[in-house]
């Protein structure tokens, strides 16, 4: 494997997750209790509905076993920090995004290995590998949660430094995400070309379904529009870097990472276009409307 895989990918993911930790406080987890309906609906869609839909798509598109497991691993990955950026851009409830990302990252330590192992058992892509065993599950724990915990500790004991670093690390995270996915694509270009045709359509369909479910299900049960926008991006923008890192460094399979690599490239454009369809067009004028409605001061 290349240095990009063995060193670059884990370091990049570590920086991204550290950046998430710098923006988190215990209050972000406590906020879940204040708006449980939106959180429960979003988590239900993310943890139950999406893997089921992804499984159906994999069978419908008749993917080879190794790519089928890669798709299931992508579906099991939590929302990425990019979801917060898109939610801010299209006037979603960013506070809800942060809470969902925090809770999802913790839950993913259990659900991601579980769904990946079930997919490996069903599709049986490896002759000599049983999947994510206990030691490898611990690696997932270290990859996902340790950088977040470090970031939260920095925020707790050096809040001024954390505030100063929050924006630069966010920007760096997005740049690193693009560079790493581009690097992963470039280093496996021939392999990617061989499989792009059968992965492009299913990843686009999966991304569109994820974004749509994340928006329409909350709206159907009368959750506010800004919360639905946040839910849409949280559910529709998966942490492709995490799926790539686990596939290539924990399970040691480049082919397993191909669905996440294709999705990671196409997702940016799909989510951007989808954002224009669902954006909150009233957000800009909220303050003006309140000012007009307020009685004149005497």
Residue 32 falls inside a structural domain: yes
Measured between alpha carbons, how far is residue 160 from residues 22, 103, 146, 147, 165 in Å? Answer: 11, 25, 21, 19, 9
Number of CB atoms found within 10 A of residue 160's CB: 8
Give residue 135's pLDDT. 61
CB 173 within 8 A of CB 19: yes
Q: Domain of 117?
A: 3-280
CB 99 within 8 A of CB 31: yes
Q: Above pLDDT 70, what percent of the chain?
A: 82
Q: What is the average pLDDT across 56-67?
A: 94
CB 71 within 8 A of CB 63: yes
Residue 231 falls inside a structural domain: yes
Judged against a pLDDT cut of 50, whether residue 292 lies above it is answered with: no
Residue 295 falls inside a structural domain: no
Of the listed ranges 123-127, 128-132, 221-225, the one predicted with least confidence = 128-132
Q: What is the average pLDDT across 226-251?
A: 87
Rounded to two decimals, what is the model's pTM? 0.78
Residue 194 falls inside a structural domain: yes
Residue 291 falls inside a structural domain: no
Number of CB atoms found within 10 A of residue 236's CB: 28
Residue 298 falls inside a structural domain: no
Nearest to 259 by CA among 83, 104, 119, 109: 119
Total number of domains in the chain: 1
CATH at residue 237: 1.20.1530.20
Q: What is the pLDDT of residues 91-116, one digit of tens each?
A: 888 888 878 887 887 888 888 888 98
| Tokens matching residue 237 | 């923008």
Residue 285 falls inside a structural domain: no
Euclidean distance between the first and final Cα of the chain, in Å?
Answer: 73
Residue 297 falls inside a structural domain: no
């Amino acid at each position: 494997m290349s240095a990009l895989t063995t060193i670059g990918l884990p370091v990049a993911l570590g920086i991204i997750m550290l950046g998430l930790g710098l923006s988190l406080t215990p209050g972000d987890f406590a906020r879940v209790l204040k708006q449980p309906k939106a959180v429960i609906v979003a988590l239900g869609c993310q943890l139950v509905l999406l893997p089921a839909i992804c499984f159906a798509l994999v069978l419908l598109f008749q993917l080879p076993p190794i790519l089928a497991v890669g798709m299931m691993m992508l579906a099991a990955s939590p929302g990425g920090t990019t979801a917060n950026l898109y939610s801010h851009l299209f006037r979603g409830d960013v506070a809800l995004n942060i809470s969902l990302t925090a809770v999802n990252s913790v839950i993913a330590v259990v659900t991601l290995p579980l769904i990946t192992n079930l997919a490996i058992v069903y599709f049986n892509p490896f002759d000599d590998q049983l999947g994510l065993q206990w030691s490898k599950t611990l690696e997932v724990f270290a990859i996902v949660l340790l950088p977040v915990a470090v970031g939260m500790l920095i925020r707790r004991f050096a809040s001024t430094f954390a505030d100063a670093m929050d924006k630069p690390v966010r920007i760096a995270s997005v740049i690193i995400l693009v560079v790493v996915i581009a690097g992963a694509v470039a280093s496996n270009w021939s392999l990617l070309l061989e499989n792009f045709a059968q992965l492009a359509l299913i990843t686009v369909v999966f991304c569109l379904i994820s974004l749509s479910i994340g928006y329409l299900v909350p709206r159907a049960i009368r959750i506010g529009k800004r919360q639905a926008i946040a839910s849409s991006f949280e559910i529709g923008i998966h942490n492709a870097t995490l799926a790539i890192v686990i596939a290539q460094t924990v399970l040691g399979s480049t082919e397993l990472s191909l669905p996440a690599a294709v999705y990671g490239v196409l997702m940016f454009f799909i989510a951007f276009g989808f954002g224009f369809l669902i954006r909150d067009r009233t957000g800009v004028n909220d303050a003006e409307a309140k000012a007009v409605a307020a009685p004149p001061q005497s």
